[in-house]
A and B are shown apart, each in its own frame.
Chain A
Amino acid sequence: MLFFRQVATVAAKDLRSELRTKEALNASLSFALVILLLFSFAFSPTSDMTREISGGLLWLVFAFAGALILNRSFARELENDCLDALISSPVSSPALFLGKALANYVLLLGIEFVCLPVFGVFYNVSWAQQLPSLALVLVLASWGVSVVGTVFSALTVNMRLRELMLPMLVYPILIPCLMAAMQLTTPLLAGEPLTGDLFAWLRLLVGFDIIFTALAVVLIDTVLIG
């Protein structure tokens, strides 16, 4: 019980801090919207082409926008040596990690749900046809991005080029998660239901989330306490 209370306390603290400063949120949201806008001008896609690239385009935007949120996750703890105060408190490293991952997850989902209608308008896509299935994909893939990104945010927090290092380290590991999300999102945006082969990608997403959450929880103590 105490563990979950600590997770909630850390997540609430991170969300409150971010909603007050809006540093990562503003940067991430404006980046995502600008990229969506620029792509719509650059390609002026036909409806067939949109159908083919929609999943890939959306998840690339979400992945890059997510990196901006994830970069701030542990970096905000460097001011005033707050990370030391957190680590030396009786909060377990997994609780600290899950609290931060949860806050990043909420922020990332927020960005995604703002970007979806904008994507629908710019690319003339009826994105809400398979909304429950699409929401399921967003929920599962965003958790994978948040978990892996939060671990590497902790790992790179003391590096001088952390803004560069984080995406370089995170994206290769996220390939299975992003591939599954793209493969699932493309047909769902075209209005096709989740059937047959698509369930294999869904299982991959679930497996990725379970494996990387478990790995992160086991390894985070070593990452945080050198």
Chain B
Amino acid sequence: MRALAVEGVWKFYGDYPALRDIGFDVQPGQCVALLGRNGAGKTTLLRILAGLSRPSKGAVKVFDKDHLDRSARSAIGIIGHGIGIYDELSALENLRLFAGLYGLQSPDKAAHQWLERTGLERVKDGLVREFSRGMRQRLAVARAFLHRPQLLLLDEPFTALDDRAIALLQSLLKESLAQGSTVIMSTHQLREALELATHVVLINRGKLAHTGLRTQEMLDDPTYLYRTYGEA
């Protein structure tokens, strides 16, 4: 069973094709670095994969189910540009809310477990609007991992994170990969992404420029990919 299958996906904004016939498969346990210059279409593709947008043409399957199917969504965890956390709720209320929405058996237990894991247990009843930026980011990471997703979609996950949140996210990603989860990560931080990645997908102006294994050349020189398959 494929963790993700992207089949001939097009996305039009008016007449402009933001994505043109993108197609690739991701097997369970792979960590894919989704690379491309600004405006290449990475975020558009990730939004489609996350079920936040429909492709104009083509299909996306998550574990062989349509990406908008309820069970497919249950398997996905997302860290996007926003933290996806309510400022006027407490840390505990936020995690309890999402645990409930993901249909976890004991939302309260899961919420407490993740508050402890992210070092937020002592401020669990504090409103998020009173939190520091680092605390909010750690709570966002807890929200994304709360339901133990099988497929993680990360859009620029390390941007704007403080050191503690980066360390937490990196350790959770490594743990998830070790447990067989699949990760798709879009980022401009090539070196960090390539160190973690097993595969790369390069998008250039909405088209798939390259897909395949991450190689030693890419690690030695992160710009190798762009020079070889994309714009210099």
Mark A residues whose CB is within 8 Å of B. Answer: 2, 5-6, 9-10, 13, 16-17, 20-21, 79-82, 84-92, 225-226
| Distance between Cα atoms of A5 and B143 in the complex (Å) | 19
- A82–B86 touching, CB < 8 Å: yes
- B53–A225 touching, CB < 8 Å: yes
- B86–A17 touching, CB < 8 Å: yes
Separation in Å of the B85 CB from the closest CB of chain A? 6
| Stretch in B100-108, B182-190, B210-218 touching the partner | B100-108
- B88–A89 touching, CB < 8 Å: no
Chain B residue numbers with a CB within 8 Å of A2 are: 103
Chain A residue numbers with a CB within 8 Å of B98 are: 85, 89
What are 25 residue pairs bridging A and B, where the CB atoms are less than 8 Å apart in the complex?
A9-B101, A13-B86, A13-B89, A13-B97, A16-B93, A17-B89, A20-B88, A80-B83, A82-B82, A82-B84, A82-B86, A84-B50, A84-B78, A85-B82, A85-B85, A85-B143, A86-B101, A89-B73, A89-B101, A89-B102, A90-B70, A90-B74, A92-B70, A225-B52, A225-B54
Main SS of the interface on chain B? loop
Q: Is B27 an interface residue (CB 8 A)?
A: no
- B73–A90 touching, CB < 8 Å: yes
With A80-B87, A226-B53 as given contacts, are A88 and B101 in contact (CB-CB < 8 Å)? no
Q: Is B80 an interface residue (CB 8 A)?
A: yes
Q: Is B117 an interface residue (CB 8 A)?
A: no
- B80–A84 touching, CB < 8 Å: yes
Chain A residue numbers with a CB within 8 Å of B97 are: 9, 13
Given contacts A81-B83, A85-B82, 8 further A-B pairs with CB under 8 A are: A9-B100, A13-B97, A20-B127, A84-B52, A86-B101, A88-B76, A89-B73, A90-B103
Selected contact of B87 from candidates A79, A81, A84, CB within 8 Å: A79
Separation in Å of the B60 CB from the closest CB of chain A? 12
- B89–A16 touching, CB < 8 Å: yes
Chain B residue numbers with a CB within 8 Å of A226 are: 53-54
Q: Is B51 an interface residue (CB 8 A)?
A: yes
| Distance between Cα atoms of A2 and B78 in the complex (Å) | 22
- A87–B51 touching, CB < 8 Å: yes
Separation in Å of the A113 CB from the closest CB of chain B? 24
Chain B residue numbers with a CB within 8 Å of A86 are: 101
Selected contact of A85 from candidates B68, B84, B127, CB within 8 Å: B84
